[in-house]
Amino acid sequence: MTAFLRSKRVHATILQCVFFAALVALFVFLGTTGQRNIEAQGMATGFGFLERSTGWPMAFSMIETSSRSTYAQVLWAGLLNTLLVGVLTLVFATLLGLVVAFLRVSTNLLARFAGTTFVEIFRNVPAILQVVFWYAVLTHTPRPRDAYTLGEVAFLSNRGLVLPAPVFSGTDLLTILAALLAAFGVLAAGRKLNLTRRGRILVVATVIALAVVLWLTGRVPDAPLVSVPELAGLRFVGGMTLSPEFLGLLVGLSLFGAAYVGEIIRGGLLSVEKGKLEAGAALGLSPWQVNRLIRIPLACRAMLPSLANQYIWLMKATTLGLVIGFSDFFAIVSTSINQSGQTLELIGILMAGFLLLNYALGTSMNLVNRRLKLKGGH
């Protein structure tokens, strides 16, 4: 009997049972306390509130919302806003990071100095401070009447950045989508038919030309292709407006992200053995070809895991939008909690939203990683 009690397996089982029981007890404890508090304060429960209309308007939204929209619609719009700002941040941070990384590995001392200065400044100051700073700068720009302008088509004022925007209708979007599909199809077929590089370019160019002709002839006659903003009294009409909130978040996070992404890319570039680059140069490749054909592909493989982590970090950092009043997912959830009082349900939705978002991002980065991985056995 004592031998049975002392055996390792029994020990392990008992320990796990105790752990599990403690966990269950903790949940029951939190649950009952929660129930008591909710009843005592007369708080509403359940997800019925999602069907109710909110009664407050959203400042910025990509889909149409009004104060009559339901909570479900508004939350969805908030998630889309987070996605929009997040994806744009990733794109800008990566592009700028690429420039910074190449500056930092340059043979030119001046370039290295500039790259290092950029990284040290933007990496060592909290992201929230940078976002708030750019927002403050953007809201302190002149009134629309005295806006900074670029060629009288783009304007920067305290209402935000106003840019000319292409005018799309539903049929335009369909045409573009069809052209993209056709181009992809041609490319896929081209691989099967062993078309030469030139042949493929030719076919794709034809498809694009056809699509443009179709688009130009198919649209409403005399409708403008591009809407150019114009000053009308105290504000701008036409074009598209990027609000100071949106821009502040985007600029702040992109600069902060670029410093980190730049360091990751630099690490990747440095991980490529010098011998491989020299071998490329010895084969007569130009510096640009060495970079494009040898250095960047090899560096990509080395840096992808860290890059994936950084991307997820940046996606999470979009929650800073709340600080400057951008209607991101978190800000919408926070307002909804204030207005509806359904704290637990909304916190649950918030967490589920971010788990989903990061899971999607992580999975797609893994997919890219698998595609890029060196395939053995050649």
What is the distance between the alpha carbons of residues 310 and 131, in angstroms, rounded to a whole number? 18
Q: Could you tell me the smallest distance in angstroms from the CB atom of residue 236 to other proteins?
A: 25
Q: Could you tell me the smallest distance in angstroms from the CB atom of residue 225 to other proteins?
A: 36
What is the size of the binding site for other proteins (CB under 8 A)? Answer: 52
Binding of residue 285 to other proteins (CB under 8 A): no
The closest alpha carbon to 30, from 291, 344, 314, 352, belongs to 344
Amino acid of residue 268? G
C-alpha distances (whole Å) from 308 to each of 66, 314, 368 are 36, 10, 10
Sign of the C-alpha dihedral computed for residues 59, 65, 69 and 72 taken in this order: negative
Instruction: Kindly write out the interface string for residues 107-146 of this chain, putting x where it contacts other proteins by CB under 8 A and - elsewhere.
Output: xxxxx-xx-----xx-xxxxxxx--xx--xx--x------
What is the distance between the alpha carbons of residues 166 and 185, in angstroms, rounded to a whole number? 26
Backbone angles phi, psi at 230, to 5 degrees: -140, 145
Binding of residue 12 to other proteins (CB under 8 A): yes
**Any idea how long the chain is?**
378
Q: Which is nearer to other proteins, 164 or 341 (CB)?
A: 341
Q: Which of 98, 163, 186, 337 binds other proteins (CB under 8 A)?
A: 337
Q: Which is nearer to other proteins, 30 or 189 (CB)?
A: 30
Q: Could you tell me the smallest distance in angstroms from the CB atom of residue 140 to other proteins?
A: 7
Token pair belonging to 274: 């010098």
User: Do residues 297 and 373 make contact, with C-beta atoms less than 8 angstroms apart?
Assistant: no
User: Number of helices and strands (H, E) in the chain?
Assistant: 14, 8
Amino acid of residue 249? L
Instruction: Kindly write out the interface string for residues 18-57 of this chain, putting x where it contacts other proteins by CB under 8 A and - elsewhere.
Output: -xx--x------xx-xx--xx-------------------
What is the distance between the alpha carbons of residues 85 and 9, in angstroms, rounded to a whole number? 52
Max CA pair span of the chain: 94
Q: Could you tell me the smallest distance in angstroms from the CB atom of residue 20 to other proteins?
A: 6
* Tokens 């935000």 belong to residue: 160
Binding of residue 227 to other proteins (CB under 8 A): no
Q: Which is nearer to other proteins, 59 or 355 (CB)?
A: 355
What is the distance between the alpha carbons of residues 15 and 22, in angstroms, rounded to a whole number? 11
Binding of residue 181 to other proteins (CB under 8 A): no
Residues 297-336 that bind other proteins (CB under 8 A): 312, 316-317, 319-320, 322-323, 330, 334
Q: Could you tell me the smallest distance in angstroms from the CB atom of residue 90 to other proteins?
A: 15
Q: Which is nearer to other proteins, 2 or 107 (CB)?
A: 107
What is the distance between the alpha carbons of residues 174 and 208, in angstroms, rounded to a whole number? 14
Residues within the interface to other proteins (CB under 8 A) = 12, 15-16, 19-20, 23, 30-31, 33-34, 37-38, 107-111, 113-114, 120-121, 123-129, 132-133, 136-137, 140, 312, 316-317, 319-320, 322-323, 330, 334, 337, 343-344, 347, 350-351, 354-355, 358-359
